[in-house]
Amino acid sequence: MVPPKVRRLILNRDGGCTIDGCHSSYRLEIHHIVPRSEGGTHDLANLTTLCWWHHHNAVHGAGAAINPDTPPHRRTIIPAGDPP
């Protein structure tokens, strides 16, 4: 779980969902770009803000990932099964 202070910092830094083309500010959540289960940390560079839909449906629900090589405010999704 991301510490509350870090969570607030990321939400303020990003100002909304960071997926390219999404302007949602509905139910914003913090997401680890490199999952904790794969060695990801709470480092600010490894955290991004996603709206509820992108976080739960597009990423976790569909087994997708966030492309770590995309700009911080124009993140793209790597569909499940595609190479990173």
- Is residue 55 domain-resident? yes
Q: Read off the pLDDT of residues 15-45 as tens digits, 9 standing for 90 and up.
A: 999 999 999 998 999 999 999 999 999 999 9
Whether the predicted model's global pTM rises above the 0.85 cut: yes
Residue percentage of the chain with pLDDT more than 90: 90
3-state class (DSSP) for residue 35:
coil
Structural domains counted in the chain = 1
- Domain membership of residue 82 (yes or no) is no
Range of the domain at 30: 4-77
The pair phi, psi for residue 22, each rounded to 5°, is -90, 130
Residue 84 lies in a domain: no
